[in-house]
Amino acid sequence: MFRSLSPSLAIVATLAGLVTACAAPPTDLDLSLQHASSHGAFVVRLDPPPTGPAINQMHAWQVRLSTPDGAPVSQASIAFDGGMPQHGHGFPTKPRITREISPGVYALEGMKFSMTGWWDMRLDIRAGDVSDGAVFNVVLNEAGIRR
């Protein structure tokens, strides 16, 4: 039984390994960490930790929110979601916006990347009666964030 199954199992395991290893991120990803929100209501900038986000370590980012003409946007409520689009999983933690550090600057805490590859970070922003979303792509390799 074991003998007859193992060759095909080995092949399946090998193929699965190859597919995972070879799923390179799309080459046309927008890797910018500052851009307009989807409908242009805000300009959003993500600042990673100065030392770069190390794999498997909890860390914090900052989110800078402004109007299109550069005025800081205070008292926004920002929901965070994201994960690895090619792997179908989210973050291993529950990152969230915890507080406004200074006008228009928000702390994104509880971040942790569990592996290298392409991650997306999605923000749902509401300020007053204006709502908009922003999506960022981060490609991580052993050296940090690919630019």
Tell me which residues in 2-31 interact with Cu ion (CB under 5 A).
none
55 and 115 in contact (C-beta within 8 Å)? yes
Give 3-state DSSP helix, strand, coil % of the chain, rounded to 5.
15, 45, 40
Site pattern 45..84 for Cu ion (x: CB under 5 A): ---------------------------------------x
Measured distance CA(6)–CA(57) in Å, rounded = 37
Contact flag: residue 87 with Cu ion (CB under 5 A):
yes
Q: Shortest Cβ contact with Cu ion: which residue? A: 87
Site pattern 97..126 for Cu ion (x: CB under 5 A): ------------------x-----------
User: In terms of CB distance, is 120 or 124 closer to Cu ion?
Assistant: 120
105 and 61 in contact (C-beta within 8 Å)? no
How would you classify the pairing of strands 96-102 and 144-145?
A: unpaired
Question: Which residues of the shown chain bind Cu ion in the complex (CB under 5 A)?
Answer: 84, 87, 115
